[in-house]
Structure 1
Amino acid sequence: MSVTGTERGVAPPPVRDLAQRKADVLEKLATDRHAWLATGGASGAHLIPLACVWDGTHLVMATHDRHRTVRNLRAQGLSRAALGNPADVVLIDGLVEIVPAKDAPADASALLAELPVNPSRVPGCVYLYLTPRRVLAWRHRGEIPGRTVMKDGRWLA
C-alpha cells in the first residue's frame, strides 16, 4: 500500500494558481516526448503510448494507418492524451485529425522529424494532430477542485 505525503506527516506542496498551472502545462507540452493516447471503438477502450511533439497548437503523434487507434479515430475523432505521472498529471481531451505525410505542413518538418515513427520515413504511417478542447492538470488532491485549465478550447488563465 502506498503512503501519501500527508500520511507521513509531510504537507503537500502549495496549490498552484491557474496561471502557474497553465505555464507548467505548456512547459510539459514543450518538453515531454511521450503520451498515452486513449480512443474508443466497437471493441472498447484502447490506450497506447506514442511519441509526441507540441507545435504550439496541437499535440502531434504518429502511428501506422492500419492500427486500431486510427480505426477508432476515423469512427470517432475524440480522444484523451495523458502526460506526466501520478504526481504531475496533465490530461488533454480533444479532436484528432488524421494527416497523411504528404499533407503535413511544410514548416513543421523539423519538429515532426523528432518523432521516431515518422510518416515521411516510415511507409504506412500517418500523423495524428490532437487539438485540445479541455485540459486538466493537478499534482495532488488539493489541486483537483481547480484542475481545469482549458475549457472549450480556451485557456482559463
Structure 2
Amino acid sequence: MTAPGAARGAGLAPPRDLAQRKADVLGKLASERYAWLATSGESGAHLVPLGCVWDGARLVMATQERHVTIRNLRKDGHCRVALGDPTDVVLIDGAVDIVAHQDLPADAPPVLADLPVNPGRVPGCVYLFLTPRRVLTWRHRGEIPDRTVMSDGRWLA
C-alpha cells in the first residue's frame, strides 16, 4: 500500500489539518508587514507591494489616493492579496473599504499606527481595509487539494 501523499511527491511534510492551517494563517497575518495587492482595471491586472497590518478582522494597507490601485478599487472593490513565499503561500480574496484618515472612527485600532505609509502622517494617503471572504493556503503540492481555509467569510475550521 502506498503511504498517503506519496503519489504527490516524496519527502514532503504531511499536510496540515484545517485547524493548523487557520492558526498558521492568523500567525502570518499578525507578523507580516508587507503584502502584494492585486486589483483589476481598464489596463488589466495591477499588482503592487504595500505595507500592511492585521487588526484582528481585516488586513489594513495604505496608499496614495491618486494611484491606479485606488482607481481600480473604486470601480471594483474586490482584490486579492498574496502573503508569504512559494513554500508558505497565503492568498486572500475580499472586498476593500477605502477610508480617509479624517474619516476613521474614534475607536480605530491602534495597530494602524504601525503602517509604514500612514495616512495620519502622509498627506494624500488613504487606508484600505480588506475584509477576507476567501483564504487559500498551502506549503507544498500535497496541501493544494484542501487549500481553502475560509469560504464566504467563514473559517472552515
TM-score normalised by structure 1 residue count: 0.92
Q: Which moved more, 1:61-70 or 1:97-106?
A: 97-106
Counterpart Cα distance in 2 of 1:84 and 1:104? 29
| Aligned length in residues | 150
Q: Where does residue 54 of structure 1 map in the other structure?
A: 54
Q: Where does residue 140 of structure 1 map in the other structure?
A: 140
* Segments of 4+ moved more than 6 angstroms: none
- Residue 25 of structure 1 aligns with an amino acid whose one-letter code is V
Counterpart Cα distance in 2 of 1:35 and 1:116? 12
Counterpart Cα distance in 1 of 2:47 and 2:127? 17
The Cα offsets for residues 6-37 of structure 1, whole Å up to 9 and x where unpaired, read as 9xx96011100000000000000000111000
* RMSD of aligned alpha carbons: 1.4
Q: Which moved more, 1:35-44 or 1:102-111?
A: 102-111
Q: Which runs of 5+ in 1 are unaligned?
A: 1-5
Percentage of pairs with the same residue: 72
State yes or no: 1:66 paired with 2:47: no
Counterpart Cα distance in 2 of 1:107 and 1:113? 13
State yes or no: 1:119 paired with 2:114: no
- Residue 145 of structure 2 aligns with an amino acid whose one-letter code is P
Counterpart Cα distance in 1 of 2:142 and 2:136? 14
Counterpart Cα distance in 1 of 2:53 and 2:96? 14
Secondary structure at the aligned position of 2:142 is classed as helix
TM-score normalised by structure 2 residue count: 0.92
Q: Where does residue 107 of structure 2 map in the other structure?
A: 107
